[in-house]
């Protein structure tokens, strides 16, 4: 579905539901939903967003899912949420207070659902929400309870710093870390 200009305008300040369940392998966390996502009710819905291709190219999914298939991630142990729930045209419309409040709400969500890994998609959003000004892409030293935190680049098509191949490679690093972590836990259990 391609939203009309009127539908996009009406999507401002909406929220869309999380794709979440207890015990996920990875909870992917976007910055906030864009207008296209607000209009369709699906995460990473704007054409040109590279979340779905990167997820597939990195091996998390056996095919490229479309935004309306987001619920099919749950059986794979994958979910989606956002730092800030409010839909905007651009992330720069969010206030520092929204990031801080969103960070606290995200911590509560992670403590409730206990995913193995929280993957935040956006360096600036992570830095703003958690006050970690020097954070870089990759594994973070902080945990939320038993949940490891991993930082990924923003998959928006506007993020010119990362090509789709480079973005998929970062997703693949996360996937490899999950696999390594599973093996380490199995070895410790023996």
Beta strands 78-82 and 138-144: pairing type?
A: unpaired
Check if the beta carbon of residue 143 is closer than 8 Å to that of residue 52.
no
Position 36 pLDDT exceeds 80: yes
CATH superfamily for domain 17-189: Uracil-DNA glycosylase-like domain (3.40.470.10)
Domain ranges of the chain: 17-189
Residue 181 banded pLDDT, cuts 50, 70, 90 = low
Place of tokens 């095919």: 63
Residue-wise pLDDT for 54-82, tens only, equals 999 999 999 999 999 999 999 999 999 99
Of 19-28, 41-50, 144-153, 178-187, give the lowest mean pLDDT range.
178-187
Q: What is the pLDDT of residue 135?
A: 95
Share of the chain above pLDDT 70, in %: 95
Q: What is the pLDDT of residue 183?
A: 43
Q: What is the pLDDT of residue 182?
A: 58
Residue 187 banded pLDDT, cuts 50, 70, 90 = very low
**Separation between Cα atoms, residue 64 and residue 51, nearest integer Å:** 10
**Separation between Cα atoms, residue 10 and residue 147, nearest integer Å:** 36
β-bridge mates for residue 121, sequence order: 152
């Amino acid at each position: 579905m391609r939203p009309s200009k009127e539908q996009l305008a009406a999507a401002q300040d909406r929220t869309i539901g999380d794709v979440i369940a207890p015990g996920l392998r990875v909870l992917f966390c976007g910055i906030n939903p864009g207008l296209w996502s607000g209009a369709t009710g699906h995460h990473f819905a704007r054409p040109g967003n590279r979340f779905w291709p990167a997820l597939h190219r990195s091996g998390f999914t056996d095919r490229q899912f479309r935004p309306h298939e987001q619920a099919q991630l749950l059986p794979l142990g994958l979910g989606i949420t956002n730092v800030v729930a409010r839909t905007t045209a651009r992330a720069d419309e969010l206030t520092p207070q929204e990031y801080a409040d969103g960070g606290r709400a995200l911590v509560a969500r992670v403590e409730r659902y206990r995913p193995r890994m929280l993957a935040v998609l956006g360096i600036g959003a992570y830095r703003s929400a958690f006050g970690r000004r020097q954070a870089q892409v990759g594994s973070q030293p902080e945990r939320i309870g038993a949940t490891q935190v991993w930082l990924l680049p923003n998959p928006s098509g506007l993020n010119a710093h990362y090509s789709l191949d480079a973005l998929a490679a970062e997703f693949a690093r996360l996937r490899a870390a999950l696999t390594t972590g599973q093996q380490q836990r199995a070895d410790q259990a023996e």
